[in-house]
Structure 1
């Protein structure tokens, strides 16, 4: 199927119109029925279980780095552990951000 310039402009204008007609949304304003699940998972990740998983990431990365002869496995293990611990804060800040 071949599009010409007029078709492309028409599609762009229709898309812009649809975006402008979309209702405003507020991220993170509903869904209170999932608060218990969020609290449970955040507690796991930021608590003792999250620390254990982060240490396992580091150990596995260290072993992989020794086996391959490169320290990149260790670096990835550290990055994974830090990412796991920081993920709930990052997700909360992204979802509750307002313009």
Structure 2
């Protein structure tokens, strides 16, 4: 009977379940090297990266900011201007963010496992 009560309590807090699953998956995870092979599309990626971080990207980011300013004036709100700035920044930093996410590794996983299990246990 107490097993069912414990299972009910765990199901009430899905955050604890997901942290437990994360800790277990990190405990049994091997080295993961995402994005380390497949050089067929490197030329395409370098072209897109050059466009977004080069002159074309600056022009598009400036246009986003300009449209945001015009939208802010038309709506009498600074929110459209802030969205234009955020869009320009997002365009500029997108290649770095994508490369960071795709080329992520689990080299630091052994140092994270004790912390993840500590969080999952609630201690």
Summarize the alignment of residues 25-44 of structure 1 with structure 2, pairs less than 5 Å apart. 26-44=33-51
| Distance of 2:93 and 2:36 partners within structure 1 | 22
| Distance of 2:80 and 2:66 partners within structure 1 | 9
Residue aligning to 2:101: 94
1:79 to 56, 79, 86: 86
| Distance of 1:26 and 1:78 partners within structure 2 | 34
- Count of residue pairs the alignment pairs up: 80
**Taking structure 1 as the reference length, what is the TM-score of the superposition?**
0.74
Native 8 Å contact 2:31 2:105 kept in 1? no
Give unpaired runs (5+ residues) of structure 1: 1-15
Structure with bigger RCO (C-alpha 8 Å, 6+ apart) = 2
Q: Deviations over 1:32-70 (max 9, x none)?
A: 000000000000000000000000000000111111110
Calculate the aligned-residue CA RMSD, in Å.
1.7
Which segments of structure 1 move beyond 4 Å, counting only runs of 4 or more?
none
| Distance of 2:71 and 2:42 partners within structure 1 | 38
Give unpaired runs (5+ residues) of structure 2: 1-20, 107-123
Summarize the alignment of residues 55-70 of structure 1 with structure 2, pairs less than 5 Å apart. 55-70=62-77
In the TM superposition, what is the alpha-carbon distance from 1:25 to its structure 2 partner?
A: 5.2
**Taking structure 2 as the reference length, what is the TM-score of the superposition?**
0.60
